[in-house]
Amino acid sequence: MSGSASSSNGQVEKDLKALQQRAGQILKARPAYKEMVDFYLTVFRRQIEWRHRLVVHPQTVDDDQRRECLGHGQPLLERYDPGIDAQSLLDLWTEMKKVFGRGNQVLRQAVDKIESAEQAGDFLPATWLLEQRPGRYELVAEAGRQIGIDESLLATLARAVTLPHWQMVAQNWLPNDGLEEWKRFRCPTCGGPPGLAELCTEPGGSEGLAPSPRRFMHCPFCGSRWVVPGLKCPACQSTREGDAKYYYTPEEPELRIEFCKSCHHYIKVLSTEGIRARLHVGLELLTTAHLDAMAQEKNLKPLETYS
């Protein structure tokens, strides 16, 4: 085995282990998600295991180009070609259909309907997957109607396939998440809205500085993570004193909903003290769904409805 193959295997093992550990940690705190997590861990594992098979050749973006593009307020995808291969999407699609087809009855029936539509030539998944972009929700809605299955289910299946491809684009274009020239709340890679905020307290420097909390945003479409200024509304940009509010329950001190009194948009916030591995955004979003339900009860709006 070549050196690079064995080291990439090592990385896969490491990532699978980190995923398993984090899932265990979450289930200890939120056991109600057990069934869901058990199923989706198979999906997430497949995404990690398939990483070396995916074909993605993003256009080269050097440091100067990155700085120039982001400095003009443009996400990199508006200027550069992500170079995602259609056949690669189709291969993972075929694999993910198998995984979903082994799920519950609703998933099995949905996969059957998708396959019938594909065989009849009514639905072309490769082109459709290639066209997926943040904000192009109509692509999923139209296909869902055409095939006759639930839109959110089809979105989940599509994301399972596209996310690992886009993660490779993001890793290539945005190797470090500490981008000082990007202070916006849309994703610097793909331009999509963030799905989750992370509050991370890093240890102070060697000169005995106090630990400084950093606020990151996570993109559910491409998996990018980037730094944003604190106390600013991600939707209306309000920095007015008293606009930023939050809800949390004493049982889950690490989780909260941050919302803006002015525009009523909210974002889920996870405090990651004590979590060492980089977050798997899919797992975190899945296991914080009760916060979305809570936000809905309080008439708050998710960020996707903005823009």
CB 28 to Zn ion: min, Å: 30
CB 300 to Zn ion: min, Å: 11
- Looking at the Cβ atoms of 130 and 187, the one nearer to Zn ion is 187
**Range 261-300, binding Zn ion (CB under 5 A):** 262-263
CB 200 to Zn ion: min, Å: 19
- Choosing from 48, 140, 149, 222, the residue that interacts with Zn ion (CB under 5 A) is 222
| Interatomic CA distance for residues 170 and 225, integer angstroms | 9
- Looking at the Cβ atoms of 123 and 306, the one nearer to Zn ion is 306
- Looking at the Cβ atoms of 97 and 159, the one nearer to Zn ion is 159
CB 127 to Zn ion: min, Å: 21
Backbone angles phi, psi at 236, to 5 degrees: -105, 0
**Range 139-198, binding Zn ion (CB under 5 A):** 187, 189-190, 192
- Looking at the Cβ atoms of 189 and 288, the one nearer to Zn ion is 189
Does residue 236 touch Zn ion according to CB under 5 A? Answer: yes
- Looking at the Cβ atoms of 233 and 267, the one nearer to Zn ion is 233
Q: Which among 20-28, 60-68, 82-90, 259-267 is the span making contact with Zn ion, rule CB under 5 A?
A: 259-267
- Looking at the Cβ atoms of 84 and 260, the one nearer to Zn ion is 260
Does residue 77 touch Zn ion according to CB under 5 A? Answer: no
As given in the structure block, the two tokens for residue 264 are: 């009523």
CB 186 to Zn ion: min, Å: 8
- Choosing from 100, 221, 259, 266, the residue that interacts with Zn ion (CB under 5 A) is 221
Could you tell me how many residues of this chain bind Zn ion (CB under 5 A)? 15
SS3 of the chain: CCHHHHHHHHHHHHHHHHHHHHHHHHHHHCHHHHHHHHHHHHHHHHHHHCHHHCCECCCCCCHHHHHHHHHCCCCHHHCCCCCECHHHHHHHHHHHHHHHHCCCHHHHHHHHHHHHHHHCCCCCHHHHHHHCCCCCHHHHHHHHHHHCCCHHHHHHHHHHHHHHHHHHHHHHHCCCCCCCCCCCCCCCCCCCCCCEEEEEEECCCCCCCCCEEEEEEECCCCCCEEEECCCCCCCCCCCCCCCEEEECCCCCCCEEEEEECCCCEEEEEEECCCCCCCCCHHHHHHCCHHHHHHHHHCCCECHHHCC
Does residue 128 touch Zn ion according to CB under 5 A? Answer: no
Does residue 129 touch Zn ion according to CB under 5 A? Answer: no
- Looking at the Cβ atoms of 37 and 219, the one nearer to Zn ion is 219
**What is the β-pairing status of strands 266-271 and 196-202?**
parallel
Does residue 238 touch Zn ion according to CB under 5 A? Answer: yes
Contacts with Zn ion by CB under 5 A lie at 187, 189-190, 192, 219, 221-222, 224, 233, 235-236, 238, 260, 262-263
